[in-house]
Structure 1
Amino acid sequence: MTLHSDVLIVGAGPAGLSLAISLAQAGFTATVVEQQPESALAQPAPDGREIALTHPSRATLERLGTWAQLADHEVGTICEAQVHDGPLGQHSALQLSASRSAPGNQCVGAAATEPLGFIVSNHALRRSAYAVAARTPSVRIVTRAQVTRVATLGAQAELDCVTASTDNATSGTPTERLHAPLLVAADSRFSATRRQLGIGAQMTDFGRTVIVCRMRHALPHGGVAHECFGYERTLAVLPLPDDPLDGHALCSVVVTAAAADAAVLMAQNPEAFAAQVQAQFKTRLGPMRLVGERHAYPLVAVYAQRFVGPRCALLGDAAVGMHPVTAHGYNLGLAGVERLTTALVAARQRRQDIGSADALASYARGHHRHAWPMYQGTNAIVRLYTDPRPVPRLLRQWVLQGARRLPPLQAAIVGQLTGQPPRWVRALAPRQ
């Protein structure tokens, strides 16, 4: 069977589904192809990842209608961020907060300004995106589908997928061939679709593993996020909404360690692991206890050699897979949704073919200028703050002292965190 839509999207993650919704709102039709079953999209299992969202990202989710699908207890507020170098308390922390007044927000006291950002569980973002996409008339979602071939032809993009009626049955099932003017790869930083399209990527394997989990603690977090750069391990403690069942304070803990060290941490019993985190955080939140499971992920950053090609475009982690230390991965994906939608709407208004190079050029150029400084800056931060040698240690202190004493530098850092960087930062990106 040959089916047609305006855009084929490979990958029903939050970025792919958000693009489908955005395109439908703009008057396009979209087909999303996903290997997972519908049940896994409708009710995703918790995976330990908590996503920090910028103000532009929240605005995008509100426009798409997915923000309204989140329960109050699923949305946390980050009022302030503190960056610590070395053992906690050894040096003064760099304190970052937004400066614009926002009466009625959840930040109180000295941080009673516009929040730096918001924090939502990854599985909640996935669930809300699917809930809206599944009921959008111009969006078709093909689940349990294995993409076997993609091709970009002269007048159209083409995709073959094998669909299964059950999770474990693929052999002997029919192959669907889908055609559209444009194909978008949104199937993870290790995108098989990107490879089939002949687009390479720069990959940076940090040789480290990130462990993510939720923890309960005795003292309130005050909406403050902490990034603690230890010389062997990096610890992030992110504020979460209180437990909706019993009102206990919760945080997200992110431990980054060498692979062997991470394996040891994962093998510890819950009490021993909690004790390690509590000790590294100097008991600032009082006694801590693990809630739920720990999840481990290898740290590999990815930057595609180009974001578009003949009748194709890359979105989300397939375009840029970020190190999580600056929490910009999903925010870049949503920024890409906005840019790509805008580019296709403009092409339609000019009566251009939406899969043409001219139609996609503005998306590629704008997304690269936005993503490149964040990607390179994040990687530089990771290298600088995980290097135990004396000279990098001294340089780290210079950077933190400079940020504390130079308001323009601090403003640039806050701009990056809130998703509204100064123009001079965006202008640093070379041509892709």
Structure 2
Amino acid sequence: MSLHSDILVVGAGPAGLSFAAAVAGSGLSVTLIERSPLSVLQNPPYDGREIALTHMSREIMQRLGMWDLVAPEEIYPLRDAKVLNGQSDYQLHFPQPTEARGEPADCLGYLISNHNIRKAAYEAVAKLDNITILADTAVKEVKTHDDGAEVVLANSDILRSRLLLAADSRFSQTRRQLGISSDMHDYSRTMFVGRMKHTLSNQHTAYECFHYGRTIALLPLEEYITNTVITVDTDQADSIQSLSNEELAALVKSQLKGRLGDMEVVSSFHNYPLVGMIAQRFYGKRSALIGDAAVGMHPVTAHGFNLGLSSADTLAKLVTEAAQRGQDIGAASLLEKYNSKHMLHAQPLYHGTNMLLKLFTNETAPAKLLRGLVLRASNNFPPLKKLITKQLTG
């Protein structure tokens, strides 16, 4: 069988690009197949999303040469985080840590715009000799068999490899064609996201405000600019979408009880339907799932990107080790090991997030009472708080 490359990756988003960067020193050839045009990979447009990165994700991005490609002024420290429930002023507070991953730390994590991460990931990979990127290219069909994988492109070209990765999205057609089922959860909610300027300092503190009827998350960027995330039931989405910038700013100021002073919209606002997904397994014959093709998280716990980056890093290490030992990079035993490692990490986060959402978006009287009790218990039980902080910092 003639090979186009050792590994074919469907999808050149952050997960696919990170995997390619992570196997750069392995001697393996990698081809990424991406539907978007090259111009979009080189200069991704602003899409409203700010990504909360753990200390572990920063370490991975530094190792892959991505971190230093983001302008320092575009990396924002996330000092601490607070959670509010309903109309109560009581706060569950996760203070600024003194250490993370055994090292001194002065913040819970970092915020970087999604488009800046995508641009840095592309730039880190574009200069690597063993990586080929086929942009503006659609996949028609994927097939795997005992000794390799085939990808049929929309123009009928056929690419062959020893290992195939799906990194295309939580709605991955590649995953479906590999026969891997998934548990998909439509939250029937829509997220609106963009930047707002305000007159009072955000003190680099993130807020998750579970108000009745809608949720507002505040992700601090500059001291007086905050990424504002408004989540509503989808049947209420039109009531947000129809607002002028001034009306939207007034609504957020009112919801926040003036916590950040006067508000002003300073970017385009973008909206996304919220759908979560976890695949039944993360591998198939000569194939594996990484990034959102493996797990698509609800953004409330800010772990989606971190989990996707971790999946790419975990699989890349196993594949590189196998290549260095002259072993089969697509062997079932290797892919099973990846599946076990990533599933151990992903399942508790995915199902824990869904349980949290179920409680904090339930507005029956008993649930409202329980919501308040959970916040107080979390605040006043140090072992639980320490465990959650450890998850936040990675």
Q: Shorter-normalised TM-score: what interval?
A: over 0.9
Q: Distance in 1 between matches of 2:72 and 2:147?
A: 46
Helix, strand or coil: the match of 1:133?
Answer: helix
Identity of aligned residues (%): 45
- Residue 56 of structure 1 aligns with an amino acid whose one-letter code is M
Deviation at 1:216, TM superposition (A): 0.7
What secondary structure, in the 3-state scheme, does the structure 2 residue paired with 1:140 have? strand
**Residue among 201, 207, 229 paired with 1:226:** 207
Matched, 1:153 2:145: yes
2-structure distance, mates of 1:101, 1:33: 40
Separation in 2, partners of 1:98, 1:358? 42
Q: 2:95 aligns with which of 90, 94, 97?
A: 97
Q: 5 Å matches for 1:106-185?
A: 114-162=106-154, 174-185=155-166
Shift of 1:264: 1.3
- What is the TM-score with the length of structure 2 in the denominator? 0.96
- Equivalent residue letter for 2:284: G
Residue number in structure 2 paired with 1:68: 68
When the two structures are superposed, what TM-score results if normalisation uses the length of structure 1? 0.88
Structure 2 Cα separation of the partners of residues 365 and 301 of structure 1 = 21
Aligned to 2:317: 342
Distance 2:299 2:354 in 1: 10
Partner in structure 2 of residue 422 of structure 1:
none
Tell me the residue number matched to 2:266: 291
**Deviation (angstroms), 1:349:** 4.2
Q: Is the 8 A contact 2:5 2:161 kept in 1?
A: yes
Decide whether aligned partners of structure 1 residues 181 and 9 sit closer, same or farther in structure 2, where only a CA change above 3 A counts: same
Whether the 8 Å contact between 2:50 and 2:112 is mirrored in structure 1 is yes
Quick check: 1:75–1:241 contact (8 Å CA) kept in 2? no
Partner SS for 1:194: helix
RMSD: 1.7
Q: Which structure has more RCO (C-alpha within 8 Å, separation ≥ 6)?
A: 2
SS of the residue corresponding to residue 23 of structure 2 reads: helix
> Which structure 2 segments of 5+ residues have no match?
none
Aligned to 1:86: 86
Query: Over residues 229-248 of structure 1, what are the superposed CA-to-partner deviations in whole Å (9 max), with x where a residue is unaligned?
Result: 01200000110136xxxxxx
Cross-structure match for 1:423: none
Structure 1 partner of 2:58: 58
Residue 192, structure 1, aligned to residue 173, structure 2: yes
Deviation at 1:6, TM superposition (A): 1.5
Q: Distance in 2 between matches of 1:241 and 1:7?
A: 41
1:32 paired residue number: 32
Residues of 1 paired with 2:326 and 2:93: CA distance?
50
> CA offset at residue 403 of structure 1?
1.0
Partner Cα separation in structure 2 for residue 50 and residue 205 of structure 1:
22
Structure 2 distance, partners of 1:96, 1:409, is 11
Q: What do residues 107-165 of structure 1 show as CA deviations (whole Å, max 9, x unaligned)?
A: xxxxx953100000000001111111111111100011110110001211110113xxx
User: Could you say what secondary structure the match of 1:292 adopts?
Assistant: coil
Secondary structure in 1 matching 2:12: coil
- Which consecutive unaligned segments of at least 5 residues does structure 1 have? 106-111, 163-173, 243-248, 420-432
Distance in 1 separating the partners of 2:179 and 2:30: 23
The answer to whether residue 255 in structure 2 is matched with residue 280 in structure 1 is: yes
SS in 2 for 1:293: coil
SS of structure 2 residue aligned to 1:145 = coil
What amino acid is aligned across from residue 381 of structure 1 in structure 2? Answer: L
Which of 296, 311, 325 in structure 2 is aligned with 1:321?
A: 296
Shift of 1:3: 5.2
Q: Which residue is equivalent to 2:383?
A: 408
Residue 265 (structure 1) aligned with residue 240 (structure 2): yes
Structure 1 residues 365 and 98, CA gap change in structure 2 (3 angstroms): farther
CA contact (8 A) 2:37 2:136 kept: yes
Question: 1:307-327: per-residue Cα shift (whole Å, max 9, x none)?
Answer: 001000000000000000000
Q: What's the offset of the Cα at 1:397? A: 1.6
In structure 1, the partner of 2:47 is: 47
Contact 1:51 1:119 (C-alpha < 8 Å) held by counterparts: yes
Q: Which amino acid aligns with 2:356?
A: I
Distance in 2 between the 1:417 and 1:180 partners? 37
- Counterpart-to-counterpart distance in 2, 1:157 and 1:356: 12
Deviation >6 Å, runs of 4+: none
Once the two structures are superposed, residues 165-203 of structure 1 have per-residue CA deviations (whole angstroms, 9 ceiling, x without a partner) of: xxxxxxxxx432111110000001000100111111100
CA contact (8 A) 2:18 2:313 kept: no
Paired AA for residue 343 in structure 1: L
1:351-410 deviation line (CA, Å, top 9, x unaligned): 321111111121100100001111011011111000011111111122111111111000
**How many Å separate the matches in 2 of 1:324 and 1:286?**
26
Find the partner of 1:256 among 213, 231, 245. Answer: 231
The 1:311/1:279 distance shift into structure 2, 3 A limit, reads same
Task: Determine the structure 2 residue equivalent to 1:394.
Answer: 369
Equivalent residue in structure 1 for 2:358, among 360, 383, 387 = 383
Verify: 1:353 aligned to 2:351, yes or no: no
Is residue 26–residue 323 contact of structure 2 (8 Å, CA) maintained in 1? no
Equivalences, count:
392
The letter of the residue matching 2:160 is H
Match of 1:299, as an amino acid? L
- Opposite residue 123 of structure 1, the aligned amino acid is H
For residue 231 of structure 2, give the secondary structure of its aligned residue in structure 1.
Answer: strand
Amino acid at match of 1:293: S
Residue identity opposite 1:339 in structure 2:
T
Distance 1:116 1:347, change over 3 A: same
| 2:195 matches 1:214 | yes
Q: 1:374 aligns with which of 346, 349, 355?
A: 349
Corresponding position of 2:340: 365
